[in-house]
């Protein structure tokens, strides 16, 4: 009986780890989809599905959709309700927004269709960022047998991921002439909010260890939020240089720096290299 | 002793280590997949008979084609999930049948892309027709393979129910 229970527990732990690896792949495919999409938007002017850039973006986004569905279902099998529901919602949104790409391939010169496709695809990337962050942090903690993290820092990090997402959506809307003034103001506003929140994560993470008890202090969180702050500053700097120089290559660098912010924030909330200071001290 | 007898009786049965609840959930996904197959078939036939049946060609942004392609995405994802569940939870036959279906769907999709790219109509030439035939034949093969994978899941559920194993 005990052997059977131990075997079930081992299977469950192995299943959680497999789910964790799938979420890593999902996050990587999301980042690749985003950068490839930005590359297509900037470099390709007469879009067709036989172009290598478009095929690359299509392949990356297909892998992302596939992994999102898979993560949702495997999480459901393991009884992780929230992770499963969020990923299924993301799956449906991504499939629907991905279909606007087919419409664009049929009408490549229609300005309205270009705006609809860019905005909807960016919306799904933007929704995907906090959802993969939440899934990764949750499943990572579960695989290590730790409780869910509802600390102010974790909460602030989720909001920072959300603000980063909204910054990206507003950034894409800048390309649309009728939306330009509103998009610029919103983009800069959300970018400032993202910087403020990442700075907040850094400050609160550092202050956690300044009290009498250093049990909550996590060097990993401090280091990665600092890297996140550096990356978001580089992205902001690129935006300013783009405005003054007009060179599109700065937009690509800005997108890549945004992906780094996303990655550093995810690592800061507990995945994948979580350093448990309290457990270390007990040992 | 009872357990040993039961284990001997279950030898050869592929029940995996997913459990009854997980198997039932996977079966529901298989049913959803069959709905996707049905929609794929109906939209494909609609396109075949009413759009590309005469001299008219079909483009990628045609609404019926978009519904067909979105359904194809759902169909592929569902089949792929069943395959991964088979591999992860020790149901080899489910995994292998679904793997066959996944391969068929990938090659079938490439056939569909050839169909669209080389003209998108019955009178567009031999390559277009070949693309269309590859798509249709492999779709049917994928449907049969998914059906067998579903039967294996149903069998595992029956066995677990009969032996009161959760």
Same domain? For A126 and A52 the reply is yes
> Is B88–A15 a contact, with Cβ atoms under 8 angstroms apart?
yes
Which of A254, A128, A135, A138 has the alpha carbon at shortest distance from A187?
A254
* pLDDT tens string A218-274: 777 888 889 999 999 999 888 888 888 877 788 888 888 888 898 888 888 765 554
In a domain, A19, yes or no: yes
Same domain? For A157 and A281 the reply is yes
Over range A147-157, report the average pLDDT: 77
If one counts the domains in chain A, the total is: 2
In a domain, A141, yes or no: no
Please report residues of A whose CB lies closer than 8 A to that of B70.
Answer: 95-96, 99
Over range A44-63, report the average pLDDT: 88
Chain A and chain B share a number of CB contacts under 8 A equal to 58
Q: Looking at the predicted structure, is the pLDDT value of residue A83 above 60?
A: yes
* pLDDT tens string A5-14: 566 666 667 7
Query: Model confidence at B26, in pLDDT bands (50, 70, 90)?
Result: very high
Same domain? For A64 and A183 the reply is no
In a domain, A233, yes or no: yes
Over range A89-117, report the average pLDDT: 89
Higher pLDDT, A101 or A269: A101
Averaged pLDDT score across all residues of chain A = 83
Q: Please give the residue of chain B at the shortest CA–CA distance from A73.
A: B81
pTM across the whole model: 0.83
In a domain, A3, yes or no: no
Which of B115, B90, B85, B121 has the alpha carbon at shortest distance from B102?
B85
Same domain? For A159 and A62 the reply is no
pLDDT at A281: 47
In a domain, A1, yes or no: no
Q: Looking at the predicted structure, is the pLDDT value of residue A66 above 80?
A: yes
Over range B2-9, report the average pLDDT: 70
Same domain? For A79 and A124 the reply is yes
Same domain? For A124 and A214 the reply is no
* pLDDT tens string B57-95: 788 888 888 999 999 999 999 999 999 999 999 899 999
Which domain-ending residue is among A84, A106, A136? A136
pLDDT at B57: 79
Over range A55-74, report the average pLDDT: 94
Nearest-angstrom CA–CA distance, B166 and B154: 15
pLDDT at A278: 46
pLDDT at A211: 56
Same domain? For A264 and A219 the reply is yes
Q: Please give the residue of chain A at the shortest CA–CA distance from B84.
A: A70
> Is B73–A74 a contact, with Cβ atoms under 8 angstroms apart?
no
Which of A134, A171, A161, A150 has the alpha carbon at shortest distance from A228?
A161
Same domain? For A67 and A173 the reply is no
* pLDDT tens string A164-212: 989 988 888 887 778 888 888 999 999 999 999 999 988 888 887 655 5
Which domain-ending residue is among A136, A157, A177? A136
pLDDT at B163: 83
Rounded to a whole number of angstroms, the distance from the CA of A35 to the nearest CA of chain B is 22
Q: Looking at the predicted structure, is the pLDDT value of residue A136 above 60?
A: yes
Q: Is B151 on the interface with A (CB under 8 A)?
A: no
Tell which of A18, A54, A70 to mutate to test the B interface (max B CBs under 10 Å). A70
For residue A18 the two structure tokens come to: 């497999």
Q: Looking at the predicted structure, is the pLDDT value of residue B34 above 90?
A: yes
Which domain-ending residue is among A106, A136, A166? A136
Same domain? For A283 and A198 the reply is yes
Q: Looking at the predicted structure, is the pLDDT value of residue B6 above 80?
A: no
C-alpha dihedral, B148 to B149 to B155 to B160, nearest 10°: 180
Averaged pLDDT score across all residues of chain B = 89
Tell me the residue range of the domain where A201 lies.
149-283
In a domain, A170, yes or no: yes
Over range A43-51, report the average pLDDT: 82
Q: Is B115 on the interface with A (CB under 8 A)?
A: no
Task: Look up residue B51 and give its DSSP letter.
Answer: I
pLDDT at A283: 43
Query: Model confidence at A94, in pLDDT bands (50, 70, 90)?
Result: very high
In a domain, A163, yes or no: yes
Q: Is B26 on the interface with A (CB under 8 A)?
A: yes
Same domain? For A182 and A263 the reply is yes
Same domain? For A126 and A17 the reply is yes
- The Cβ-side half-sphere exposure at A184, using a 13 Å CA radius, reads 8
Q: Is B32 on the interface with A (CB under 8 A)?
A: no
Please report residues of A whose CB lies closer than 8 A to that of B77.
Answer: 65-66, 69-70, 91
Rounded to a whole number of angstroms, the distance from the CA of B30 to the nearest CA of chain A is 12
In a domain, A143, yes or no: no
> Is A99–B17 a contact, with Cβ atoms under 8 angstroms apart?
no
Tell which of B18, B81, B82 to mutate to test the A interface (max A CBs under 10 Å). B81
Nearest-angstrom CA–CA distance, A236 and A122: 19
Same domain? For A95 and A179 the reply is no
């Amino acid at each position: 009986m005990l052997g059977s229970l131990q075997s079930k527990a081992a299977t469950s732990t192995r299943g959680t780890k497999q789910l964790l690896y799938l979420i890593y792949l999902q996050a990587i495919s999301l980042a690749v989809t985003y950068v490839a999409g930005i590359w297509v938007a900037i470099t390709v002017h007469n879009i067709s599905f036989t172009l290598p850039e478009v095929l690359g973006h299509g392949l990356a986004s297909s892998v992302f959709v596939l992994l999102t569905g898979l993560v949702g279902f495997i999480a459901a099998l393991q009884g992780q309700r929230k992770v499963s529901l969020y990923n299924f919602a993301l799956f449906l949104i991504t499939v629907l927004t991905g279909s606007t790409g087919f419409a664009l391939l049929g009408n490549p010169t229609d300005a309205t269709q270009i705006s609809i496709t860019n905005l909807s695809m960016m919306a799904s990337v933007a929704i995907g960022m906090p959802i993969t962050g939440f899934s990764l942090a949750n499943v990572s903690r579960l695989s290590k047998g730790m409780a869910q993290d509802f600390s102010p820092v974790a909460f602030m990090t989720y909001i920072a991921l959300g603000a980063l997402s909204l910054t990206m959506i507003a950034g894409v809307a800048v390309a649309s002439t009728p939306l330009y003034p509103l998009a610029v103001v919103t983009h800069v506003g959300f970018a400032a909010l993202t910087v403020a929140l990442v700075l907040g994560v850094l400050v609160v993470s550092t202050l956690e260890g300044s009290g009498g008890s250093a049990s909550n202090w996590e060097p990993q969180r401090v280091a990665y939020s600092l890297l996140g702050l550096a990356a978001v500053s580089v992205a902001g700097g690129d935006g300013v240089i783009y405005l003054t120089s007009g060179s599109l290559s700065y937009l690509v660098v800005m997108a890549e720096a945004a992906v780094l912010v996303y990655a550093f924030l995810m690592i800061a909330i507990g995945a994948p290299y979580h350093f448990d200071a309290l457990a270390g001290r007990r040992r | 002793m009872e357990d040993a007898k039961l284990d001997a009786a279950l030898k050869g049965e592929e029940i995996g280590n997913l459990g009854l609840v997980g198997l039932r959930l996977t079966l529901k996904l298989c049913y959803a997949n069959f709905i996707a197959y049905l929609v794929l078939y109906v939209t494909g036939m609609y396109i075949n008979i009413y759009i590309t049946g005469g001299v008219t060609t079909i483009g990628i942004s045609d609404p019926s084609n978009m519904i067909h392609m979105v359904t194809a995405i759902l169909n592929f994802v569902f089949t792929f999930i069943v395959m991964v569940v088979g591999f992860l939870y020790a149901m080899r036959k489910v995994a292998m049948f679904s793997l066959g279906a996944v391969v068929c769907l990938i090659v079938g999709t490439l056939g569909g892309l050839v169909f669209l790219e080389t003209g998108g109509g019955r009178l567009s030439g031999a390559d277009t027709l070949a693309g269309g035939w590859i798509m249709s034949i492999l779709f049917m093969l994928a449907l049969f393979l998914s059906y067998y994978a579903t039967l294996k899941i149903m069998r595992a559920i029956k066995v677990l129910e009969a032996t009161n194993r959760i």
